[in-house]
């Protein structure tokens, strides 16, 4: 079994994390809009595109913990509630 690895000298999540932390309700009006926003930091042909997307999803899930979700569409709100731990 191959395990995907990456060099910490080649990969930085600084811009991905910063981008996701700026997400606004308008970016969460559908699953497609959410994914479109989360994919922005890494170009489609970026060597570590999938790694950056996975990181963006994890950061987004952590942001949803305890966040007021009144301005987000139900589909995204249900997704966030399904993964965010209940506090």
Residue 38 pLDDT: 95
User: Domain segments of the chain: what residues?
Assistant: 14-83
pLDDT for 27 equals 96
pLDDT (0 to 100) of residue 78:
85
Q: Is the pLDDT of residue 5 over 90?
A: no
- SS3 for the chain is CCCCCCCCCCCCCHHHHHHHHCCCHHHHCCHHHHHHHHHCCCCCCCCCHHHHHHHHHHHHHHHHCCCCCCCCCHHHHHHHHHHCCCC
CA 20, 64, 34: angle at the middle one, nearest 5?
50
pTM across the whole model: 0.79
pLDDT digits (tens, 9 = 90+) for 20-75: 999 999 999 999 999 999 999 887 777 888 889 999 999 999 998 877 778 888 88
Residue 39: the pLDDT is: 93
CA–CA separation, 52 vs 72, rounded Å? 23
């Amino acid at each position: 079994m191959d395990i995907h690895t990456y060099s910490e000298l080649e990969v930085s999540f600084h811009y991905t994390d910063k981008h996701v932390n700026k997400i606004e309700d308008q970016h969460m009006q559908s699953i497609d809009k959410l994914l479109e926003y989360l994919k922005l930091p890494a170009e489609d042909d970026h060597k570590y595109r999938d790694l950056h997307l996975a990181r963006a999803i994890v950061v987004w899930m952590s942001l949803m913990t305890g966040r007021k979700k009144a301005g987000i569409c139900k589909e995204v709100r249900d997704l966030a509630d399904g993964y965010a731990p209940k506090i």
